[in-house]
């Protein structure tokens, strides 16, 4: 496993280069480093929590109770910290507002004409919409998972057990297995 510090240092170095050059190539390198960093962090969390997750999965499968502390730990494993979630939701609202602005641009373009320039502009707008929608969908998926946890409260109903088992198994098993 790569050293986290090395990857972060590389990210910071490439980030500065990307700011200076603004080239697509440097942006792609930065994106690859972010993906690598995300992969390393996920693996570290998985390694740190694997045994505890497996115990929790077995308890859930066997119908044993889990504590409010267990549910709080599961939230951190699956969703992350509350502050990060709140910040992410704020970003999501900004993205949704930007998507509304895009819809207004589309309405204007729809009325303006049928030129090549209009279609080219339309493509750019649709690309922005697609990028935003990808982020918004992810945001809502995370929010739905968090809402599911809040609905559970301190007791885990049978219908929630299957949900928890599924996400814990997904989190505890590496993607490449």
Q: What is the pLDDT of residues 2-25, one digit of tens each?
A: 688 888 888 888 888 888 888 888
**Which H, E and C letters describe the chain, residue by residue?**
CCCHHHHHHHHHHHHHHHHHHCCHHHHHHHHHHHHHHHHHHHHHHHHHHHHHHHHHHHHHHCCCCCCHHHHHHHHHHHCCCHHHHHHHHHHHHHHHHHHHHHHHHHHHHHHHCCCHHHHHHHHHHHHHHHHHHHHHHHHHHHHHHHHHHHHHCCCCCHHHHHHHHHHHHHHHCCCCC
pLDDT band at residue 64 under the 50/70/90 scheme: confident
Task: Give percent of the chain above pLDDT 90.
Answer: 15
Please state the rounded mean pLDDT for residues 104-122.
88
pLDDT digits (tens, 9 = 90+) for 121-160: 999 999 999 999 998 998 888 778 777 766 765 566 777 7
Tell me what the mean pLDDT of segment 23-41 comes to: 86
Which domains does the chain show, CATH number per domain?
50-172 (1.20.58)
Mean pLDDT, range 165-175, rounded to an integer: 74
What's the whole-model pTM score?
0.63
What CA–CA distance (Å, rounded) separates 126 from 42?
32
29 or 104, higher pLDDT: 104
- CA 96 – CA 102 distance, rounded (Å): 10
Mean pLDDT value of segment 64-86: 75
pLDDT the model gives residue 129? 94
| Confidence tier at 176 by pLDDT (50, 70, 90) | very low
pLDDT in tens, 78-104: 766 667 777 878 888 999 999 999 999
Residue of higher predicted confidence among 55 and 145: 55
């Amino acid at each position: 496993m790569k050293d986290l510090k090395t990857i972060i240092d590389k990210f910071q170095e490439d980030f500065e280069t990307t700011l200076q050059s603004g080239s697509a190539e440097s942006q792609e390198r930065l994106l690859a480093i972010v993906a690598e960093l995300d992969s390393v962090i996920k693996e570290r969390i998985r390694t740190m929590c694997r045994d505890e997750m497996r115990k929790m999965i077995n308890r859930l499968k066997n119908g044993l109770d889990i504590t409010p502390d267990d549910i709080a730990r599961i939230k951190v494993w699956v969703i992350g910290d509350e502050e990060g979630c709140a910040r992410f939701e704020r970003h999501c609202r900004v993205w949704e507002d930007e998507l509304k602005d895009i819809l207004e641009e589309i309405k204007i373009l729809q009325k303006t004409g049928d030129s090549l320039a209009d279609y080219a502009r339309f493509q750019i707008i649709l690309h922005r919409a697609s990028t935003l929608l990808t982020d918004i969908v992810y945001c809502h998926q995370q929010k739905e998972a968090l809402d599911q946890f809040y609905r559970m409260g301190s007791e885990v109903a049978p219908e929630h057990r299957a949900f928890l088992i599924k996400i814990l198994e997904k989190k505890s098993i590496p993607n490449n297995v």
